Chains A and B, each alone.
Chain A
C-alpha cells in the first residue's frame, strides 16, 4: 500500500488548467522524483498536495483522504518546501526554525540540534535575519525548517535551483539521512534530471499537466528515447 497516492488530480489557476489528471504514488520511506520541462506542472503537483492551489480529485495520505487546506496538510505530517524557499525573510534564522515545528507540541531542542548538525552554518547565523542569508543557506534553512516538523512526507521543489554543486551535495546528503533515519518519504521536483535520478528510487516525467512516463530510475536512465526527449541528456 502506498503512503501517498494521487488519483486523477486536477488543478487550475483561475481559468487555466495546469494539471489534467495526475496519478502517482510514493511508498513508505521512498524518494520519488517528478521531472519534466518548464511549465509541465511539476510545481503545481506539489501545490495540489499541500493544498496551496485548488484541486479536484483525491489525494490519499497514510490511508486517509487528505484535506485541501494547507494548514491541515501540515498538521497531517506533510512539509512543503516551496519554490523560492518561502523563507520568513524578516524573522531570524532561529525563529524560522521554530516556525517549522509549529504543529508539534514537544521540546524542540532535539530537532534543533539535528538541524545544526546537518547545517552548521545555520547555527552560526542563528540570530541573523532570514532574508539576508545566501541562496544556499536559505535552502538549508528551508530544509531545516521542514526537518523541525519531523514530517512523514517531504515535498521539495527544485532544491538545486541556483545553488553551487557543493551545496547541492550537502542538501541531498541531508535528505538521504532523513530518509534512512526517520523513514521519511520524499517527493522531489527537479529540473536537474540526472541529479534527481541518482537519488530517487522512482520517477514520474510530466508533460503538459499529465504523466508522460513513469518507472524506476534505472529504467528511465536506461531508456535512450526517454533520456533524450524528456530528460534532456
Chain B
C-alpha cells in the first residue's frame, strides 16, 4: 500500500499539504467568524468569495494592478456582506435552523448563477500577487506563492485574534453573539454587530478567493470543493475558534495530502470522502472540535 518513499518527496508533500491547508484555513476563518458572531453556518461563503474574486478579475482586466484592485474588492466585499446580512439573513434570524440553512443555500445558488450569468462559465487565469518561481528550502523546491499564501493566512488570523481580544468593537461583536439581550442592556446595537460580522467574513472570503484563484484557475465553481474542506477544517478546529480554523485547516491539508499520496487506496479520488470520514469520527469523539467549547445539553 505504501508507495516508494523519499525524504525530499515527503517534504514536498508536506509543503503542498500546508499550502492546501492554508487555503482551506482562509475560507474556514470566514465561516468561523460568521458562526461566532451570528451562530449561522454560511453555505454561501464560497460563492461570495468567488463572486468577489471575479470582481477583482474584472478590475484587473480593465488595467488595474492587483494591489490597486485589492482594497476596492475588500470594500465591495464588506459592503456586500453587510447588505446580505441586513436584507436576507436578518428577517429569518429567529426562524428555525432549517430555514436559515435553506436561505444561505439559496444565496449560494443565487450567487453561483449570477457569477455564471455575468462572467460566463469558462475557466480563466488569475494573476495573483506572488510570483510563481520556486526557491530552494533545504533541498526542497517551494514556490514563493505557496509561502505567500501561508503567510497571508496566518497574518489574517493574528489580526483577527487581536481585533477580537483587544478592541472594543471586537468585544462587542463577541458579546452580541453570546448574549444579545444583555448586550443591548449595555448599549450595544446588536443588529449592526451581526451585520459587521458578515462584512468581516465577506472580506476574509474575498482574500481567500484572491489567494486561491491563481492556483486553481478562476471559474464559477472554483470554491465548491474547497468550501467543503473549509467546513471540515472549521469543524475540526472548533466552530467558534478562529485559531482553530487555521490550525484545523493546515492539519487537514497536510493529513489529506499525505493520505492521498501514501495510502494507495485513497489516492486522489477518495481524498474528499476521507476528509469527511475523519471529521465525522472526530465529531463523534469530540463534538467541540479541537479548540471549541460545546454547551452540554443534558436530556
Contact = CB atoms under 8 A, between A and B. Distances in A.
A86 B172 contact: no
Nearest to B182: A86
B293 A70 contact: no
A102 B178 contact: no
A200 B183 CA distance: 29
A95 B171 contact: yes
B186 A74 contact: yes
Contacts of B175: 88, 91, 95, 99
Say which size band chain A's interface belongs to: 20 to 34
A52 interface: yes
A91 B178 contact: yes
B168 A86 contact: no
Interface in A106-146: 145
A98 B293 CA distance: 22
Given A91-B174, A95-B171, A99-B171, A86 B187 contact: no
A102 B188 contact: yes
B179 A86 contact: yes
Contacts of B186: 74, 79, 99-100, 102-103, 145, 149
A21 interface: no
Contacts of A103: 186-187
A117 B150 CA distance: 47
A99 B178 CA distance: 12
Secondary structure at the B interface, as helix, strand, loop or mixed, is helix
B178 A70 contact: no
Interface string B179-208: 101111111111000000000000000000
B38 to A, nearest CB: 15
Contacts of A71: 184, 187-190
A205 to B, nearest CB: 26
Contacts of B293: 90
Given A90-B293, A91-B175, A95-B171, A102 B182 contact: no
A52 B185 contact: yes
A140 B295 CA distance: 24
B187 A88 contact: no
A98 B187 contact: no
B178 A80 contact: no
A82 interface: yes
Nearest to B191: A71
The residue in A52, A74, A145 that gathers the most chain B C-beta atoms within 10 A of its C-beta is A74
A75 interface: yes
A45 interface: no
A89 interface: yes
A67 B55 CA distance: 43
A176 to B, nearest CB: 23
A71 B182 CA distance: 10
A87 interface: yes
Contacts of A145: 186
Contacts of B174: 91, 95
Contacts of A160: none
A90 B183 CA distance: 13
A228 B183 CA distance: 40
B108 to A, nearest CB: 29
Contact of A82 (B171, B172, B185, B187): B185
B171 A80 contact: no
Contact of B185 (A80, A89, A95, A98): A80
Contacts of A79: 185-186
Contacts of A82: 181-182, 185
A103 B189 CA distance: 11
16 contacts: A50-B185, A52-B185, A79-B185, A79-B186, A82-B181, A86-B179, A88-B175, A88-B178, A88-B179, A89-B178, A91-B175, A98-B171, A99-B186, A102-B187, A102-B188, A149-B186
Interface of A: 50-52, 69-71, 74-75, 79-80, 82, 86-91, 95, 98-100, 102-103, 145, 149
Given A82-B181, A95-B175, A99-B175, 18 more contacts: A52-B181, A71-B184, A71-B187, A71-B188, A74-B184, A80-B185, A87-B179, A89-B178, A90-B178, A90-B293, A91-B175, A95-B174, A98-B168, A99-B171, A99-B183, A100-B186, A103-B187, A145-B186
